[in-house]
Every structure is written in C-alpha cells, then in structure tokens.
Amino acid sequence: MGKKSKSSSSKEKKCSIDKTDDVGDEVVDAASSSNSKKMTMNEQIPPLEVSNEEYEELQSQVEDLSLHEAEMEWMESCRYGDVDVVRALVEKFPSLIHYCTTDNKNTGLHMASANGHVSVVKLLILGHHHPYSKNLAGNTPLHWAAANGQADVVDFLTTQTIVPIDVLAQNEFGRSALTEGFTSQKEQVVKSLLEHDSATEEKLLSTGKEIDHPTDLAEHVHHFFNPQTPLKIRELAMKNADNPFADTDRPDQDTTGLSIWSASLVIARWMQTKQDLWKDKSVLELGSGCGVPGLAIAAATTTCHPRHVYLTDLNPETVKNLQYNIELNQVQDFVTATCMDWSDQTTWPNERVDYLVGSDLIYQKSLVPLLSSVVWGTLKMGGTFFYVAPDTGRDGLDLFVQEMKSKCPGWKETVAPQEYHANPLINEDDEECFLHFQELSSFTYILYEFPLPPTLETKKV
C-alpha cells in the first residue's frame, strides 16, 4: 500500500531485478506502435526501464510461475511500481488484467494508483485496457490516488480518454475521489479533479442531496486496540461529502464528525497511557465526532473509570451516533452524549470538568475564539486540556496553539511516537486501515498538553 515502504524482500523476489539501464523512448507494446502517432505524450505506453537482455531474463523467470504465483507477483509488482515485471507478467498471463483479490476486490490498478506508479498505471490502461472497477468498499483507483495525494496518477487518470471516470462517484462511505483529494491537501490533486468534466458545478450541488437521508448512510463498526476488550466504534458516511465542513454560519450542518479522523485514534492511544488520571474524575470531550478518545478513556478499565464522561458535538446526526457508540460499548452508566454548541453557553455541561480532550477541532480560523472560550469556560482551573492535531494543513491551528501556550505556562508539545501510528484495528487488516485512516500513516501528529493555571487571577475567561 501507499503508506508502506517498499520492503527489501521485493528485491529478492523471483522476478525482481536491478533496474540500471534506461532505453530512452522505446515503445515496446504492439498496441502502442500502431497508435503512438495519434497519442499525446501523456498517452504513450511507458518504455522498457530495463535493457533488452534483462527483460528477456524477466520473461524467462515469469515462464516458471504458476498462475497463483503470478497473481501474487502481479499485485506486488503493481504496488511497488515494477513496471517491467508487470509487463512481462501480463504478456504471459493476459488474464491478470482482470484479477482482483477475493476478500476486498482490489486490482493491480488500485495498487499502482495508490502508490503513485504512473508508468504502471499507463501500461495497464493504455497498453491493456485494464478495467476501472470499484473495490468492495466502493473505492476506484482514483479514490486511492487522490487519498494518497498521488498528483501524477490523478493527472493521468483525469486526462486520459480510454476509461470513463467520475470524480464525484462515491464509495460506501459517501466519499468521492474529490473528497479524498481535498483531504489529501495536495493542491495539484484537487486542481486536476476539479478540472475534470465530471466535476461540474451542477453535479457538485446535487451530490449532497443524493445522500441526504439517514437511511442512505453506509455504516461500519470498527474494533480497535485490544483484542480481548475491543473498543467498538460505528462510523457513518459524511453527508454532503464534497463540503462536509458546511458553511461557517451553519456549523450544526458540519458532518465531519460522522467519520473517524485519524487524530482521534492517536489521542485515544495517548489517553490509554494515562489511566491513573481518570478515577472518579469528570472528562469532557469536545467535538467528539464518533467518540473514539472519550470512549477509550471510559472503556479502558472497569475499576478506575471516570465519574462522568461527557461526549459532545453540535451536529444532531453525530450526537445520535455517539449515543449508539456509548451503548455499543456498554458504558451508558457514566457516559452521556449531548448536543453542545461552543458558541452557546447554555448547551455546556453544568459543572466545570477535571479534564478536557479533543482531536482535530480547528480547521478554520473562525473556530479559534470559540474553542478558546469553551476551554476557559468548561475546565476547572488546574485541570488539563489534552489536544491532538496534525502538524500541518489546519487553518487557525497555529493561532490557537499560540494563544493556549501564552495562557498555560506549563504547556507541553510532543510529536506522537511511531507506535501511535500503528494499525489500530484488532483484525490487523492493513487494507481496511488504509481505506479508512489514510492520514494515520502519512501525517505527523502533535500531542498538546495545556494545564490551566491553578487560579483564575491573571486569566481572561
């Protein structure tokens, strides 16, 4: 997958060879030689990357493979961008073009696209008309390329004319390639997607309406962290997938909390290291979304659990899902889900709490004063606010952090350790992890600890 580094074992594989020679512009595929004059540069089948002798050697290695071995090699070579191995394999086993994994229906094109191997993508589409299919989760190769910020692949897929693509086609979670592109924060990726014919304004406007009814929402229950006592979290498809953040004047329509953001998995792991803190204390999670950190705190231990955990959010659908997740984890005795609006004090809990937690809550500058006022208005003096966010790409985050640091002299800031980025799913399914939490392995997360001073004296509320 795109988030994994190429393993050294791929160099030892039966078909892997050192690629040292480039043969310039040579176009080897028969299909290309007849069509190449008509093709633009972007539509040319990539030439051999190895010498002719090396390619012959590859062909003879491929001869020895069974079909099953060839299928395994095919997926690996697409994943790691071994374009000439892919070429030799499909020459000997043409049926590989239609191969997909039985468990999740991923194809070679998914693998090459996710990992940014544009030459393999071109070989598959231009040379062999590889099907452009959805996998089991409804993701097209373009979803994966966009999610991973693979600008060259997105550019090729959105400009080629062989396979029809739709940048607004939604996966099972209501996310289109365009949504994934926005999440990747890669300007070039978003630009290519928006320039495609399928991203017409008319269609963009209608996408939200299509999944406007709750019964349309795809859902998935994830099992996290501890195989003996897994944390169970239901995630739903975001509504208005191409503008899930909604407009600043309608924050109640922000449906981003229906999805699990990777920062919440990071903070949950961090909070699991602080189990000594919670016994008989009150904890408030702000903008809980699916409630991963708050529920991780609540479910961590049966003997030392907090007195009360408040899971809160503004969007009504998100709060309903929080209630569902509370019941799923059987912690309704001391965990509540409520609708809380940072801009409306009447919706805040009646007590000041001992601990505040939050993940990925600032993504627009306008949220900074709101969140600040909530922190100072809901946390006891001497209490601590634990916060996690990615190190880049969040508008207003620097301002918020600066403000909190200036008011909390005991602040701490640490880069999340590598183990917090590990696959949190108890089934250890890397494909599922990649599909749902791409940012977990590609982003750097910062752990912030803001202890409020013991008295209010010099602080503004």
Ligand X SMILES: C[S@@+](CC[C@H](N)C(=O)[O-])C[C@H]1O[C@@H](n2cnc3c(N)ncnc32)[C@H](O)[C@@H]1O
Residues in touch with ligand X (CB under 6 A): 251, 254, 256-257, 260-261, 263-264, 287-290, 313-315, 318, 340-343, 359-361, 370
Token pair listed for 190: 């978003």
Count of H-run helices and E-run strands, the chain: 20, 9
User: Which residue's CB is nearer to ligand X, number 81 or number 289?
Assistant: 289
User: Which residue's CB is nearer to ligand X, number 141 or number 289?
Assistant: 289
Residue whose C-beta lies closest to ligand X: 257
User: Which residue's CB is nearer to ligand X, number 176 or number 325?
Assistant: 325
**Helix (H/G/I), strand (E/B), else coil: 449:** strand
User: Which residue's CB is nearer to ligand X, number 396 or number 453?
Assistant: 396
Least distance from ligand X to the Cβ atom of residue 437, Å: 10
User: Which residue's CB is nearer to ligand X, number 285 or number 354?
Assistant: 285
Measuring CA to CA, which residue among 385, 389, 391 is closest to residue 404? Answer: 385
Least distance from ligand X to the Cβ atom of residue 141, Å: 26
CA distance 440 to 184: 12
Least distance from ligand X to the Cβ atom of residue 36, Å: 47
Least distance from ligand X to the Cβ atom of residue 144, Å: 21
DSSP-derived pairing of the beta strands 335-339 and 412-415:
unpaired
Least distance from ligand X to the Cβ atom of residue 269, Å: 13
Q: For residue 135, how many C-alpha atoms fall within 13 Å in the half-sphere facing its CB?
A: 25
The shares of helix, strand and coil residues in the chain, as percent rounded to the nearest 5, are 45, 15, 45
Q: Between vectors from CA 145 to CA 143 and to CA 148, what angle results, nearest 5°? A: 105
Least distance from ligand X to the Cβ atom of residue 193, Å: 21
How many CB atoms are closer than 10 A to CB 440? Answer: 23
Measuring CA to CA, which residue among 12, 4, 122, 437 is closest to residue 261? Answer: 437
CA distance 233 to 263: 15
Measuring CA to CA, which residue among 103, 69, 106 is closest to residue 85? Answer: 69
Least distance from ligand X to the Cβ atom of residue 170, Å: 19
Least distance from ligand X to the Cβ atom of residue 458, Å: 27
User: Which residue's CB is nearer to ligand X, number 117 or number 394?
Assistant: 394
User: Which residue's CB is nearer to ligand X, number 140 or number 312?
Assistant: 312
User: Which residue's CB is nearer to ligand X, number 249 or number 419?
Assistant: 249
Measuring CA to CA, which residue among 48, 111, 106, 126 is closest to residue 76? Answer: 111
